[in-house]
A and B are shown apart, each in its own frame.
Chain A
């Protein structure tokens, strides 16, 4: 007993001494060397295996079934390597990467009937990969849309195709055919829409709209099933596809899936022998490596160690790499940072005090130190400071430089000037003194970045008399997307495009017709009408909520170049007349590649590496 206590006393003394030692060692522990690597310095050549690790898990939302899969990184693999669509992308960075180009179709299609009819012709020589190795026809694209319209398959972004005439009737079982899709011959497909939809080409460029062979996919009517049996129409296929016995549904299902994809941790892609490069464009797909492997790794440190050693070539990180990694690779061309076309923002619920007052909403936009917030994300590599809603890429730079609330550090004087105009500042001194400004209920996610950001935000808000009552929840999206919970404020939300058109940013977030009781993305409740108040259980200030529904309808009729102009005007209106967000960061997709990589490109559409253009030693 005495010996034990002597040991314990000794530990106590040593621990106290550690305080002093720690102070010395800690101050010396922050230096790290920078890599002077030169990825991309060698000439790109075909061949080799391009090895990629996903941080933690694939997190596929639909089991990699192109009909249901909604995960951006999965759509990147599908679109670059496995599934071709009528219309596609060049899989390059920046605004050019958001421009649609013909893929399986001979051109971008003929638009008639006042923008309501789209006609496409398929190229010659396009084929499915093994084991089918047969030509792709318009019927295969029709079947893809029939799958989208089959509720049991759960097409997670199937709502984008509700503009096709008869799609809703098909979904609800009122019709056995989709009236608005016609295939007069095996090379032609015609889409009739209910309303002019200027971004329909972009919707056709999503993997769900690619050809799907009925003889295989028809065997699977539940979500998450077909992914492991995916028949390629692109330059690569799952390894072992040629071993699949596709003679009947029984033989297909008996295989348990193609061996190159185990569904959760490993995906092995090899060249598709039926792919005809002459039907594709090198500008869109170069297809240099002979093989791709995608695996998962829950140890982030191990991923970066492997990249450092050259044991893997690339990663799909869960977010911005840790600040330590950013600092290590800063200045090296192994560190890649590109706009992810995603905006992180604070949500302001227009029905809840004090955010039912536009002056308070404007004041918060003024007072927030976006530059300091960005530090919590890792600094400039994390992205550009967001000064309005949609990232510049999506608006074809029509709003580049537009910053109605300044560009970085926040402006307390201008914030106070707005507060003075508010009904919540009784003595008009620029400090919100009403009870509504104290302990404002706020929901945050449990991400480290949010916890790091919150003290800065709270300090900013304090300067205009506002305080938060923070709740940190692992699943913050559920309560903030549940309308009846009337959450006034949240630091959690972000929005990334589904496809490269501004509607994919503005439609779900600001259209009152998109408000849903749960899973609601229009979190500010923009355009809320009295009819919706009772339906969704909204409590608070429910009258006089501004709407942009008409602006959205107007923009949706526009085509090509007119669209970004129209949406830029809408963005301005939202930022100055509605103010439902405090946008603070246009997030980058930042990753680290190994020195083995001889050519690297970023795919703006899917916001991950452009697998179609990479090369390895």
Chain B
């Protein structure tokens, strides 16, 4: 094609320099930072992570006491906790403990449970989903029916049953393998969330395995393992990251729900769900609303922040998504 008539002063070199090549990471970041909601969510998540990691330091050096320190002076003669003041920023809970410190430590519990449980369920879900989607046939049928069975189980009833059956002795069940507490909460959450990931990964894998680059690798004699590891999994990275960020808030709420029902973390471990449960169970929230307000706000903010972050990541990582 000839040059445009009458524009002889435009040189091809200058055109090349005005269109810079950008790496996928740069494209992602450019898209992500334009999304203000995602940025707010990301900053909120980072703040919460900071508070969770440094809860102990803040409690020790800024506040001066731990989450289980009881202050008799912070409850009145009827056992009603006293409200926020200059020393107890969020007021006291029913036992006379500093609610601010407990909310800080609650962030640690929530995020710890959510991250570990999400990691476990993502690992199981991705492994199972890739195997089912790649091998198809009998393997797919068996794996997907197992996930159907897991999805059909009444999670809360099962958790109640496990806590009741395994809580009666110090040893718990199965020689101490199953004991009520943090481990059981993580186990229950992981065990019942992996099928969602497995289904998504399976459908994406089914689509990927039919792509030309996979066909090409196969025709070059690549092994199944190599195709999965080198061709399929790298292309699953974006959906995995997106679903992980969306699963975390869901798991935070799951932990809160289990703790609210008394099936969650041990009673002396601060947890937002447990704080809400205690406030509701004692009825103290009627005269001490801060018992509900602060853990509730942190729970909402955390969930919302992760959801916004997840939304933003999806938009930035998946060019096909509409904004």
A interface list, Cβ under 8 A from B: 1-2, 5-6, 8-9, 11-13, 15-16, 18-19, 22-23, 25-30, 32, 300, 322-324, 326-327, 330, 369, 372, 375-381, 441, 443-444, 446-449, 451-456, 458-459, 469-475, 478-479, 482, 485, 487
Contacts and interface: CB of A to CB of B under 8 A. Distances in A.
A29 B79 contact: no
Nearest to B291: A26
B187 interface: no
B301 A15 contact: yes
A57 B4 CA distance: 91
Given A324-B286, A458-B68, A470-B268, 18 more contacts: A8-B37, A8-B304, A22-B289, A23-B84, A23-B290, A27-B91, A30-B80, A322-B282, A323-B282, A327-B76, A330-B78, A375-B79, A376-B79, A381-B78, A448-B282, A455-B268, A472-B167, A482-B168
Contacts, number: 180
* Max chain A C-beta neighbours (<10 A), residue from B35, B68, B69, B94: B94
B19 to A, nearest CB: 28
A455 B97 contact: yes
Contact of A454 (B69, B77, B169, B268): B268
Contacts of A376: 79, 94-95
B262 interface: yes
Contact of A1 (B268, B284, B322): B322
A376 B268 CA distance: 16
Given A9-B37, A327-B80, A444 B289 contact: no
B239 interface: no
A32 B68 CA distance: 29
A324 B287 contact: yes
B305 interface: yes
Given A19-B297, A375-B75, A471 B167 contact: yes
A456 B70 contact: yes
Contact of A29 (B70, B77, B89, B287): B287
Nearest to B286: A324
A473 B167 contact: yes
B311 interface: yes
B78 A452 contact: no
A455 B75 CA distance: 13
Contacts of B300: 11, 15
Interface residues on B, range: 35 or more
B287 A22 contact: no
Contacts of B60: none
B266 interface: yes
Contacts of B85: 27
A323 B169 CA distance: 33
B297 A322 contact: no
Interface in B52-109: 68-70, 72, 75-80, 82-85, 89-91, 94-97
24 contacts: A1-B323, A2-B323, A5-B35, A8-B311, A12-B44, A13-B40, A18-B293, A18-B297, A22-B293, A22-B294, A23-B84, A26-B293, A27-B290, A300-B283, A323-B284, A323-B287, A324-B80, A379-B76, A451-B278, A455-B70, A456-B70, A456-B95, A472-B167, A485-B168
Contact of B95 (A12, A452, A478): A452
B156 to A, nearest CB: 14
Contacts of A448: 94, 278, 281-283
A472 B281 CA distance: 14
Contact of A474 (B72, B96, B262, B301): B262
Interface in B3-30: none
Contacts of B75: 375
B265 to A, nearest CB: 11
Contacts of A330: 78
A519 to B, nearest CB: 14
**4 tightest A-B CB contacts, nearest first:** A26-B290, A448-B282, A441-B170, A479-B168
Contacts of B78: 323, 326-327, 330, 375, 378-379, 381
Interface string B154-182: 00000000011001111000000000100
A13 B304 CA distance: 11
A13 B308 CA distance: 12
A565 to B, nearest CB: 36
B164 A474 contact: yes
Interface in B125-176: 163-164, 167-170
A378 B76 CA distance: 9
Given A12-B41, A377-B79, A455-B68, A322 B286 contact: yes
A109 B150 CA distance: 69
